[in-house]
Structure 1
């Protein structure tokens, strides 16, 4: 969810409800914009919708949707995005290309964009409009989401707070050291989270609130903003069987396993087809030892920057695995529906993620 000021700005910038109403009415639908709080219960994780609309066809068929507003939608995000509303979801975004729209349809998510592309399906109703081009953006349009808590550096702070909620009350200086950012960034993130209701004061300590919603937002923003910035290299290895027996080597490199390889250590049903390593610098010796070749794109070994420090030493059995919020986000960011299914299963079984969802 957005803060009230951010949400109002987003609605104005994207032309809601006027622009979406116009697009839906062009399709022959009668549109009623309802009160989001009064019209439907919150989702199972306490997530409130951006809006609620009731659509009626000329034949009298009716459906009420929970509307989720996203500034942009990539193919990876179409797989990663979570819609926890108790109502059927209707995505509203600026423009959807065909590959992105196809992923949304495969997940059963209805949508409409500002160009008039739309997919709505219920009972005997099917509205399917494709191929309309992206409308030109007016000059000077402001960004709809600030760089603070959900900018690159802010996402690093959020990762630490989600992974180790006990550090929420730490000093700004300690939080900056753990997340690898400046003191000013930490202050901005704490202020924004507090104003948005994600942090509250309990006595002399800060505590997280609405953790499930925050994890959803962090995972989506990670896919777009942070994950691409962490890339150190893509490699292809003919054999990946060695990594499970490399704890000692990883420990000496201060390397940790993430992505679906890390997930396979949490979920024995998963057989990983790739390895994601988080390191402080490119492990040249490891790359040579296992004959990894540089891949132009999408190799089966992803090497990324390990930007965080852990607040306390971890047991040997856990120190080589990244915290599960990052494993979860990595799998969503992959854009692979198979990994998405495993990510959902891990979210419902992993103790750390369950604790976040209960916050």
Structure 2
């Protein structure tokens, strides 16, 4: 049996699938692989039926993640059906605890596991990280997830067709230097997130890329975009202010933007994106400066739309999704999951 560690990028899909089977069999489960061509199921990697010695059985959609941090454990999205099973490299106990709190079953390369259905409970904890051979490291495009790189990634995720655009166009749209764009594109290609052949470029592994971007956004970019925090006694005005917002070049994000996509959400805050503080808007709607607990968040709109003629009054859904996750609010987190499962743009990314 081979050993898998988080620095091993050479393992192919068949190898990962074999490792999944091996770890599950070690838990005393009979494993039946039902399929590995799951394009119709979005980001899932393999469909397996697990059967215990007593005959209890359940079919899981396995998703393989080559890494799992505490932030990603909070941000990562899994389809609701079939029941998801995460397979990843070694999970520390704090990270595993976050997954259990979210009801996500998992198995890692060390044999730590949590699977629960009906009367079945498999709970293995405390197994140590597999030994890593010296000299085997991989950045997996880490530079692309710095602050400037995240701005480029936002363009690529929001408008995937821009992956084929010239570097100068990407730089103009994302508000970063030409050199940054070249670096980001090169690192994404090297990490397997961007397919390149001749002049052709397109995104790959979109679901994982969106997970990593959302995680990094909450850490590196979210706070850097703040223009001002305000409080409003009445937030209802924004719903009838589309013309006004458009005239000022202001777009709606966060849970307010999400509520325009998902009617189940009743927003209690308003996030606006503008190139500069919209003084007219602040005065007209009596927004008061707030140090803490403001319900109106105004942030920098750092990008330019590639297709301004069809520019909407809400920000692209990848940013709305990231805003919901970055809020730290379990209610918004739940609506983020719903948005990712229902929004056409996010579903297309997950199928990439």
- Structural mapping, 1:34-45, within 5 Å: 42=38, 44-45=40-41
Q: CA deviation at 1:215?
A: 2.8
Q: Per-residue displacement from partner, 1:172-208 (whole Å, max 9, x unpaired)?
A: 111111101121221122223333153233x744233
Q: Distance in 1 between matches of 2:262 and 2:287?
A: 28
Q: Distance in 2 between matches of 1:10 and 1:101?
A: 29
Q: Normalising to structure 2: TM-score of the pair?
A: 0.71
Q: Give the structure 2 partner of residue 319 of structure 1.
A: 312
Which one of the candidate residues 232, 240, 246 is aligned to 1:245?
A: 240
Q: Per-residue displacement from partner, 1:125-183 (whole Å, max 9, x unpaired)?
A: 446689x9xx9xxxxx9896553222222221111112223322221111111101121
- Structural mapping, 1:222-301, within 5 Å: 222-288=217-283, 289-296=285-292, 298-301=293-296
Which one of the candidate residues 156, 171, 191 is aligned to 1:176?
A: 171
Which one of the candidate residues 215, 225, 231 is aligned to 1:220?
A: 215
Q: Distance in 1 between matches of 2:155 and 2:253?
A: 15
**Residues 1:115 and 1:227: Cα distance change in structure 2 (over 3 Å):** farther
When the two chains are superposed, the root-mean-square deviation of aligned CA atoms in Å is: 4.8
How many equivalent residue pairs? 336
* Structure 2 gaps, min length 5: 12-23, 130-135
Q: Distance in 2 between matches of 1:268 and 1:324?
A: 15
Q: Distance in 1 between matches of 2:156 and 2:38?
A: 24
Q: Distance in 1 between matches of 2:67 and 2:297?
A: 28
Q: Per-residue displacement from partner, 1:77-120 (whole Å, max 9, x unpaired)?
A: 5443123596742465654549x835x33432135799999754
Which one of the candidate residues 152, 170, 178 is aligned to 1:157?
A: 152
Q: Distance in 2 between matches of 1:64 and 1:350?
A: 26
Q: Per-residue displacement from partner, 1:214-273 (whole Å, max 9, x unpaired)?
A: 333333332333323323333332211111233344234322111111122223333211
Poorly superposed stretches of 4+, deviation over 6 Å: 30-34, 51-65, 112-118
Q: Normalising to structure 1: TM-score of the pair?
A: 0.70
**Residues 1:114 and 1:56: Cα distance change in structure 2 (over 3 Å):** same
Q: Give the structure 1 partner of residue 132 of structure 2.
A: none
